[in-house]
Amino acid sequence: MSESKHTKGKLVVSSSFLVVTEETCRIVANTQPIGVEGITTTFAEGKANAERIIKCWNSHDALLDACKELLQMTGMGYNEQDDPDRVERAKAAMAEAKKQA
Protein backbone atom coordinates (compact mmCIF):
# COMPACT_ATOMS: atom_id res chain seq x y z
CA MET A 1 0.00 0.00 0.00
CA SER A 2 1.17 3.51 -0.80
CA GLU A 3 2.68 5.66 1.93
CA SER A 4 0.71 8.63 0.58
CA LYS A 5 -2.24 9.95 2.57
CA HIS A 6 -5.69 10.39 1.06
CA THR A 7 -7.35 13.76 0.66
CA LYS A 8 -9.10 14.73 3.89
CA GLY A 9 -12.63 16.04 4.24
CA LYS A 10 -16.04 15.43 2.74
CA LEU A 11 -16.59 15.02 -0.98
CA VAL A 12 -19.37 16.33 -3.23
CA VAL A 13 -20.39 15.86 -6.88
CA SER A 14 -19.51 18.68 -9.24
CA SER A 15 -20.76 18.78 -12.84
CA SER A 16 -22.47 15.39 -12.38
CA PHE A 17 -19.34 13.23 -12.69
CA LEU A 18 -16.45 15.02 -11.02
CA VAL A 19 -15.90 14.15 -7.36
CA VAL A 20 -14.42 17.15 -5.55
CA THR A 21 -13.58 18.19 -2.00
CA GLU A 22 -16.39 20.10 -0.33
CA GLU A 23 -14.20 22.95 0.93
CA THR A 24 -11.72 23.55 -1.90
CA CYS A 25 -13.40 21.93 -4.94
CA ARG A 26 -10.17 19.99 -5.59
CA ILE A 27 -10.88 17.18 -8.08
CA VAL A 28 -10.49 13.75 -6.49
CA ALA A 29 -12.07 11.58 -9.20
CA ASN A 30 -13.62 11.76 -12.65
CA THR A 31 -16.18 9.01 -13.22
CA GLN A 32 -16.87 9.92 -16.85
CA PRO A 33 -13.91 8.75 -18.92
CA ILE A 34 -13.65 10.73 -22.13
CA GLY A 35 -11.80 9.47 -25.17
CA VAL A 36 -10.82 6.15 -23.64
CA GLU A 37 -11.21 3.43 -26.25
CA GLY A 38 -13.40 0.52 -25.18
CA ILE A 39 -14.94 2.28 -22.17
CA THR A 40 -18.59 3.09 -22.66
CA THR A 41 -19.76 4.67 -19.41
CA THR A 42 -23.03 6.53 -19.86
CA PHE A 43 -23.53 9.95 -18.34
CA ALA A 44 -26.08 8.51 -15.88
CA GLU A 45 -23.71 5.70 -14.87
CA GLY A 46 -20.87 8.19 -14.36
CA LYS A 47 -23.10 10.32 -12.13
CA ALA A 48 -24.25 7.26 -10.16
CA ASN A 49 -20.62 6.15 -9.72
CA ALA A 50 -19.67 9.61 -8.45
CA GLU A 51 -22.55 9.55 -5.97
CA ARG A 52 -21.53 6.07 -4.77
CA ILE A 53 -17.91 7.13 -4.25
CA ILE A 54 -19.10 10.09 -2.19
CA LYS A 55 -21.48 7.97 -0.12
CA CYS A 56 -18.72 5.47 0.71
CA TRP A 57 -16.05 8.13 1.33
CA ASN A 58 -18.21 10.36 3.51
CA SER A 59 -19.60 7.52 5.65
CA HIS A 60 -16.39 5.50 6.07
CA ASP A 61 -15.14 6.94 9.37
CA ALA A 62 -18.58 6.95 11.02
CA LEU A 63 -19.23 3.37 9.92
CA LEU A 64 -15.87 2.24 11.26
CA ASP A 65 -16.53 3.98 14.59
CA ALA A 66 -20.00 2.40 14.82
CA CYS A 67 -18.55 -1.07 14.24
CA LYS A 68 -15.98 -0.48 16.98
CA GLU A 69 -18.71 0.64 19.37
CA LEU A 70 -20.84 -2.41 18.58
CA LEU A 71 -17.92 -4.71 19.26
CA GLN A 72 -17.36 -2.99 22.60
CA MET A 73 -21.02 -3.65 23.44
CA THR A 74 -20.84 -7.39 22.75
CA GLY A 75 -20.82 -8.11 26.47
CA MET A 76 -24.18 -6.32 26.88
CA GLY A 77 -26.79 -8.87 25.93
CA TYR A 78 -24.99 -10.24 22.91
CA ASN A 79 -26.06 -13.81 22.29
CA GLU A 80 -23.31 -15.60 20.39
CA GLN A 81 -25.67 -18.50 19.65
CA ASP A 82 -27.70 -16.20 17.38
CA ASP A 83 -24.74 -15.89 15.02
CA PRO A 84 -21.40 -17.10 16.37
CA ASP A 85 -19.42 -15.60 13.47
CA ARG A 86 -20.87 -12.08 13.80
CA VAL A 87 -18.00 -10.65 15.85
CA GLU A 88 -15.38 -12.16 13.56
CA ARG A 89 -17.11 -10.75 10.48
CA ALA A 90 -17.29 -7.32 12.10
CA LYS A 91 -13.60 -7.46 13.01
CA ALA A 92 -12.70 -8.56 9.47
CA ALA A 93 -14.79 -5.76 7.95
CA MET A 94 -13.14 -3.19 10.19
CA ALA A 95 -9.67 -4.50 9.35
CA GLU A 96 -10.46 -4.28 5.63
CA ALA A 97 -11.87 -0.75 6.00
CA LYS A 98 -8.76 0.35 7.88
CA LYS A 99 -6.53 -1.23 5.22
CA GLN A 100 -8.43 0.57 2.44
CA ALA A 101 -8.49 3.92 4.25
Q: 97 or 79, which is more confident? A: 97
Q: How confident is the model at residue 42 (pLDDT cuts 50, 70, 90)?
A: confident
* Rounded Cα distance, 36 and 23, in Å: 30
Question: What pLDDT digit, counting tens, does each position of 3-36 carry?
Answer: 788 788 888 888 777 788 888 888 888 888 777 7
Q: What is the DSSP string of the chain?
A: --SPPPPPS-EEEETTTEEEETTT--EEEE-S--S-TT----HHHHHHHHHHHHHHHHHHHHHHHHHHHHHHTTTTT--TTT-TTHHHHHHHHHHHHHHH-
Question: What pLDDT digit, counting tens, does each position of 46-89 carry?
Answer: 888 888 888 888 888 888 887 777 777 665 544 556 666 777 77
The confidence score (pLDDT) of residue 77 equals 47
Question: What pLDDT digit, counting tens, does each position of 28-39 carry?
Answer: 888 887 777 777
Rounded to two decimals, the pTM is: 0.63
The overall average pLDDT reported for the chain is: 76
Torsion of CA 79, 82, 87, 90, to 10 degrees: -130
